[in-house]
Chains A and B, each alone.
Chain A
Amino acid sequence: MNPHRRHPFIRIAALVVYFFLYAPIVMLVLYSFNASRTNILFEGFIPSVGPLQMEGSLVTQSPCGAFHWFCELAKNQEVGVAARNTLTIALTSTFVSAIIGTMAALAMQRYNFRIKPFAQLSLYIPIVIPEIVMGIGVLTLFSQLFAIVNNSLGLAGDARLTLGIGTVIVSHIAFCVPFVTLVVQARLQGFDKSYEEAAMDLGANELVTFWRVTFPMILPGVLSGALLAFTLSLDDFVITFFATGPGATTLPIYVYGLLRRIITPQVNALSTIWIGLVLVAVVLLQRLQAREAK
């Protein structure tokens, strides 16, 4: 019996679902090269390179040629700031949550301690409650806390504590940690304790054993946990929406703001870049997994 044999119905259904998944994405990318400013129909690529020329709603010539909207995007300073904020937040919260999440995973998998059931519960909650609940929770916490601190210390002007990148990072860590912990814990489940015993048997103390043996062996798990945290943070809209303040706009927040006001092919250009980066990341990930599988 060929295990790879699939019913024609399955093949057709799979094709339809893939079409459903990709048609909007392909359309987004295609329209980022659209000569039409109104973005209703695809009116072809911008044909020539040169000083900007327009005919009605069509761009007929641009210094960047077909990449007109990408150049427009590059001139947009708000996007630059938002991109930098997004990356700062994602990298910082990934770094912190990878470290403390790995520690927590070790504790949950290896040790028995009194508060373990409570810790387990608190790690499950963010997974099973809607993000908005946590979002308004942190908003309430920070606004009440900052009001108390600002008033009692008499802080004024720029010295006042406000929502911003700091509050976003702290909140992102909170929702990333449970996922890192789960991923690393899954790796630790298959971890044979005799590797560590062997290291200690050969003269390594607990710290040396961790750094020379345990850590290298769970590193793939830690990395995939960190990768998950990174994508969660990069992608997050809801919690950022509530935890952020003036000057701390991230890309998703920026795009959301645009959508409510105006649609321009610049957004398509931004989407195309994002999708391109995702493609690169996915291919890299696949290479990494293939290498690990060897």
Chain B
Amino acid sequence: MKELSEFAVEMRDVVKTFKTPEGTMLNAVDHVNMNIKNGEFFSMLGSSGCGKTTSLRMMAGFEWPSEGEIYIEGQAMGHTPPFQRNVNTVFQSYALFQHMTVYQNIAFGLEMEKAPPDEIKARVGRVLDMVQLMGMEKRFPKQLSGGQQQRIALARALVKLPNVLLLDEPLGALDLKLRKEMQLELKAIQQKVGITFIYVTHDQEEALTMSDRIAVMSKGKVMQMGTPVEIYERPTSRFVAGFIGESNFLEGTVQSINGERANVLVPALMTEVTGLNTGKVKMGEKAVVCIRPEKIRISDEPVSKQNSFRGAVKTTTYIGSDTHVYVEVGKLTIKVWEQNRVSSLDPKAYYTAGQNLTLNLMPENTLILADA
């Protein structure tokens, strides 16, 4: 019997307080609200200590909230122990039982449900097929490679067909190439089985690649929640804009607001910059102009009167696909990523230090954020 809840998991005003070794109290999770929809691939992204893993562990039932409540399929969880929750976890360390074979590891969860032996055998076979590890049943975890162990950990959780699968940095121990392969495979498996995945990672690229929605977390709080495009293209705070990808920040004061646009006086440039008003800035308040380095256009002469600045190249870095150009404008250094569209061996094709040029910030690509 499935609960007709729109949300697979809800966190309502959840606080988790830990005692630090110094004896002070710390809110590892600080009044977090999250709604995770059924069938969604949802990521919690943040650096270590941001509360993402603690949130996941509270969903799994390894920790209990100090305040607030977690709902799974609309049911308040309270102090329900992990073995009475219809969620399963893929651990960062995999936590494969070393004294059991691959088969015994995967069958463990089904045995706990008291599933009949025939059914266990069939389901273990199916899930091993899904993670492409048929024929490994009799091996012990120690005899498998890191990537294979990761798949077994996934299979062991998936075989239970939980409503929600919780994944705690499951790819963290793999090397880069394998990690990229597994990212695509995980996403494919998720779409195939249709189970809600809640994925914890500190790797922004991983989160952007796989997720339907992302919650960016910092210091126990959710900074922004949205689709990868929303998070990257419309960050609502300086923190998110700086954490996801790179940004140039120009600090100033709001001069005027014109519907969607706002003008900010940037003292370091001694001029006004126009950009999209995200709706949070007010006249006369401090604000920050935020522009992604790849969205700045370089030209010899100003393209328009608005948002064009003369500057001189400070340094450049050639990184293959792009050239990173650092341009001194007024008192600021602005970074610009230029795609290398032309193949050339001439160093001049990639800008040289001291070269004078114009930077053009398109107002529709420029965001005006409140400077919190």
Contacts and interface: CB of A to CB of B under 8 A. Distances in A.
Q: Are chains A and B touching in the complex at the 8 Å CB cutoff? A: yes
B112 interface: yes
A201 B81 CA distance: 9
A213 B83 contact: no
Interface stretch (B89-97, B279-287, B331-339): B89-97
B81 A199 contact: no
Interface in B62-114: 62, 81-83, 87-89, 91-93, 95-99, 108-109, 112-113
Contact of B108 (A192, A204, A216, A217): A204
Contacts of B97: 195, 198-199, 213, 216-217
Given A203-B83, A217-B99, A197 B62 contact: yes
Contacts of A201: 60-62, 82-83, 87-89, 157
Contacts of A189: none
Nearest to A212: B108
B156 interface: yes
Contact of B83 (A194, A205, A212): A205
A194 B62 CA distance: 10
Contact of B109 (A202, A205, A216, A217): A202
Interface residues of A, number: 17
Interface residues of B, number: 24
Given A195-B97, A197-B82, A202 B60 contact: no
Contacts of B89: 197-198, 201
Nearest to B91: A194
Contacts of A197: 60, 62, 82, 89, 91, 95
Interface in A162-205: 192, 194-195, 197-205
Nearest to A195: B95
Contact of A198 (B87, B91, B99): B91
B160 interface: yes
In this complex, the member of A202, A203, A208 whose beta carbon has the largest number of chain B beta carbons within 10 angstroms is A202
Contact of B112 (A192, A195, A208, A216): A208
B338 to A, nearest CB: 46
Given A203-B109, A203-B113, A198 B83 contact: no
A208 B113 CA distance: 12
Interface string A211-225: 011001100000000
A194 B82 CA distance: 12
B108 A202 contact: yes
B91 A203 contact: no
A203 B99 contact: no
A202 to B, nearest CB: 4
A200 B81 contact: yes
Contacts of B62: 197, 200-201
Given A195-B97, A216-B99, A205 B60 contact: no
Given A197-B60, A197-B62, A197-B89, A203 B112 contact: yes
Nearest to A209: B83
B339 to A, nearest CB: 44
B299 to A, nearest CB: 55
Contacts of A205: 81, 83
Contacts of B91: 194, 197-198
A201 to B, nearest CB: 5
Given A197-B60, A197-B62, A197-B89, A202 B112 contact: yes
Contacts of A216: 97, 99
A202 B156 contact: yes
Top 8 A-B pairs, shortest CB-CB distance: A203-B112, A202-B109, A198-B95, A194-B95, A200-B82, A216-B99, A201-B89, A203-B83
26 contacts: A192-B95, A194-B91, A195-B95, A197-B60, A197-B62, A197-B89, A197-B95, A198-B89, A198-B91, A200-B61, A200-B62, A200-B83, A201-B60, A201-B61, A201-B62, A201-B87, A201-B88, A201-B89, A203-B109, A203-B113, A203-B160, A204-B83, A204-B108, A204-B112, A205-B81, A213-B97
Given A199-B108, A202-B112, 19 more contacts: A194-B92, A195-B95, A197-B60, A197-B62, A197-B82, A197-B91, A198-B91, A200-B83, A201-B60, A201-B82, A202-B83, A202-B156, A202-B160, A203-B109, A203-B112, A203-B113, A203-B160, A212-B108, A217-B99
